[in-house]
Structure 1
Amino acid sequence: MSNQLNPQDTVLIVIDMQNDFCHEDGASAKRGLADITAFQACVPKIDGLIGQARAVGVPVVFVYMTLDDTTISEAWTNKHGTGMSIVIKGSWGADFYKLYPQPGDAVVEKHRYSGFIGTNLNLILRSMGCKSIVLTGVLTNVCVESTARDGFMLDYNVTLVSDACAGSSPEAHAGTLANIANVFGSVLSAEQVGAAWSAAASPVEASA
């Protein structure tokens, strides 16, 4: 486990923490698409991990989703309908929710569930020398899981932070955690990830 969280080749990824998903005035809350209280509860955990990542030199990547006429496909419309106006590019709903990139952070705009599809995320990670990704954000069972699956297929060590992400329901959240742990990577708490980073950054010398 420790090798998969080595600060020298690990990247923390924050997925889709945006107003339309997380804010009480966003599309998810207004349309009853999900219980956003679970999404909002992730914020302190993610914020804490971001702080710990910065302290030990782990890069932070913010991934966010947008849609517009150039990226809404027939397949997307067939599944979600023409009235699925959410995270529209340039709108308030697409803006970040409470967690914001800082200078030096990479920011990746995506148009599908996975952070790897049609983006430069893989190039960014490879350029950083990344071997392991730590995933946080929403929704556990949609965009986070899609990114985790693709990340594993691209040969990254995947860690999903159980209390720093939230799903469309507790059952969906739990299902993804089980699926990732069984097939695609590891599932740890924010405390466990932070402790591993701290231990790697300040190793305790064995007593003589």
Structure 2
Amino acid sequence: MKKALISIDYTIDFVADDGKLTAGQPAQAIADKIAAVTQEAYDRGDYIFFAIDGHDEGDDFHPETKLFPPHNIKGTNGRHLYGKLAQVYENIKDDARVFWMDKRHYSAFSGTDLDIRLRERRVDTVVLTGVLTDICVLHTAIDAYNLGYQIEVVAPAVASLTPENHDFALAHFKHVLGATVIED
């Protein structure tokens, strides 16, 4: 079994108090865990994918512009990784097992070559971390399920805007997608 950790949208715009579309305290509370899980995956020899939302300034055609304020605009600090995860990334980014992927939609698979890269490396299990549990992490998990990957979600390394949304997504991962939800 080969694994790849997919770190989703843990950026300043989604996490920091002054982020453009912040989950705030719930996302900040996972800072230590998401960094530790990422470092542990790297140390084990897993592949690491940073799947990061990237929007163009003034892109009025993107469907999210009707739902959310502008966020994760390319070339802004809002797209930088938040907290300790930024430090982990700086230490590992030059390794051939580490990838940065721009994404335009909720799912890390939508419009990217993530599936191709995983299959080239014979990865059969994806480990998901990041924000928001019920949006980008959930949509990535659904696509992973539909593509035949085994799914693990590290519950203390994902966060959402509300506890209800978070709990809904964790139950969906487990009961609908057959994912393993790691609780520690």
Give TM-score, length-normalised by structure 1. 0.79
What is the percentage of aligned positions where both structures have the same residue? 33
Query: Any idea what the Cα deviations from partners look like across 1:47-97, whole Å, max 9, x if unmatched?
Result: 1112211222111111100111585525333x326xx21111111111211
The one of 67, 79, 88 equivalent to 1:80 is 67
Provide the residue aligned with 1:60 in structure 2.
48
Pairwise CA RMSD: 1.7
Provide the residue aligned with 2:94 in structure 1.
103
Matched, 1:14 2:7: yes
Q: Where do 1:1-208 residues align within 5 Å?
A: 6=1, 9-29=2-22, 34=23, 36-68=24-56, 72-73=60-61, 75-77=63-65, 79-80=66-67, 84-98=69-83, 99-100=85-86, 101=89, 102-104=93-95, 105-184=98-177, 185-189=179-183, 191=184
Quick check: 1:61–1:108 contact (8 Å CA) kept in 2? yes
Quick check: 2:57–2:74 contact (8 Å CA) kept in 1? no
Quick check: 2:57–2:73 contact (8 Å CA) kept in 1? no
Distance 1:93-1:171 versus aligned 2 partners, 3 A rule: same
Give TM-score, length-normalised by structure 2. 0.88
Give 1:178 deviation, angstroms. Answer: 0.4
Provide the residue aligned with 1:196 in structure 2.
none
Distance 1:168-1:58 versus aligned 2 partners, 3 A rule: same
Query: Any idea what the Cα deviations from partners look like across 1:91-136, whole Å, max 9, x if unmatched?
Result: 1111211223322211111011000000111111112210000000
Q: Which runs of 5+ in 1 are unaligned?
A: 1-5, 192-208
CA distance in 2, matches of 1:154, 1:38: 30
CA distance in 1, matches of 2:36, 2:94: 18
CA distance in 2, matches of 1:130, 1:12: 10
CA distance in 2, matches of 1:76, 1:15: 17
Quick check: 2:34–2:157 contact (8 Å CA) kept in 1? yes
CA distance in 1, matches of 2:138, 2:150: 14
In the alignment, residue 94 of structure 1 is paired with which amino acid?
A: R
CA distance in 1, matches of 2:108, 2:5: 13
Which structure shows the bigger proportion of residues in helix conformation?
1
How many residue pairs end up in the alignment? Answer: 175
